[in-house]
Structure 1
Amino acid sequence: MIRRVEGSNIPRSSSTTLRRGFSTEIASESVADEAFVSPWKKTIPNIEPPKTPLSYMKTRPPTPSAIPTKLTINFVLPYASEQASKEVDMVIVPATTGQMGILPGHVATIAELKPGLMTVHEGNDIKKYFVSSGFAFVHANSIADIIAIEAVPIEQVDQAAVQKSLAEVTQKLSSASTDLEKAEAQIGVDVLSALNFAVSG
């Protein structure tokens, strides 16, 4: 029996369900997406098929049966990798729903980040970053991927410069005449207020 998918002209068999595998289910890094590669080779045999996303995906370690003692984090920015496969005790991120602590064995979660202080705890060592925005992807196998648009170690921030900039954007907000000016000034106030709170705390 053939049925049509709602909002689509693609007929699908009702006895089969199309499903993409998770990265933990990929046999190896060299696995190619045969559903794409095979038709390509039949249609264009003289040109090598382009790489598919599966060609670049690394296999995630399986979810352990017991909760590990460490959390593995990958903390990346668009232009740099701050920490890669770093084993830590805990990470606290500024989620839009509030401060969120991530420990080993944390339930799988996706959290949107807001401007605020992120702390990485490794024994008695606490590394503090100010992050502007981004996402935290917490996996069931005690791995957390934290992707930030911008981040800076808190010790590199000049508090006097932050307070001066905050006063300037607050003045711009009060004198803004258009919606665009108000929106731009409000973003500045939100980010700089969070940054000022992070450096003063």
Structure 2
Amino acid sequence: MFRTVFTRSSTLLNNKTAFVASGKRFYADAVKSEDLLTFSLVLPHQTIYKDKKAPLITLPGAKGVFGVAKDHIPKIAELKPGVMQINHEDGKEEKFFLSGGFAFINPDNTCYVNAIEAFPIEQLDQEAVKKGLAQYTQAYNDATEETAKAVALIGLESYQQMAYACGVSV
């Protein structure tokens, strides 16, 4: 298994950007420490990870789930409620439920994930998730004003993602 890295050429051909394969290949079974991303997971009240090395982290982006590895294109991404997965160097996976936030992916192979709340998905209480899901579903269905409907929708989407994370059927 390999991936080829593409680099953007500064030459424009007929107003189109040319993409050129650099020919550099990375093999999944040969991860070295210099091939790792450095990331931090920070909350307003706590730092969960600071300058942790990992080959890959997966984040719940507002436009879809995406992975971040070394040499990722720099960007700032809005995060929605969902699961952040960390693939550690030893092959183990760790999952956190994020309430939303932002990811700052920098050109120096660092990534800062800032969230309001984050906790291991093992801490999700399935009964509490079911109760919250039912509560926000009812609130959304009963809402007549736009503001109340919007607030209920935020809660509903959050509980739907929690239900998905802990295996509760929706």
TM-score scaled by structure 1?
0.64
Structure 1, unaligned runs of 5 or more: 1-66
Q: Could you tell me which of 79, 85, 90 is aligned with 1:113? A: 79
How many residue pairs were aligned? 135
Q: 2:116 aligns with which of 145, 149, 156?
A: 149
Amino acid at match of 2:136: V
Write the letter of the residue equivalent to 1:135. Answer: F
The percentage of aligned residue pairs carrying the same residue is: 36
Secondary structure of 2:107's counterpart equals coil
Matches of 2:34 and 2:61 in 1, distance apart?
Answer: 24
Which runs of 5 or more residues in structure 2 are unaligned? 1-32
1:74-122 CA-to-partner distances (Å, cap 9, x unmatched) read: 1100110010011111100001111110011111111110111100110
Bigger Rg, which one: 1
Please report the RMSD computed on the Cα atoms of aligned residues, expressed in angstroms: 1.5
TM-score (norm 2): 0.75
Give structure 1 regions of 4+ aligned residues with deviation exceeding 2 angstroms.
Answer: 177-180
Aligned: 1:194 with 2:161: yes
Does residue 67 of structure 2 align to residue 101 of structure 1?
Answer: yes
Which one has the bigger strand percentage? Answer: 2
Aligned partner of 2:92 in structure 1 is 125
Tell me how far 1:196 sits from its aligned partner. Answer: 0.7
**Aligned counterparts, 1:15-164, within 5 A:** 68-122=34-88, 123-164=90-131
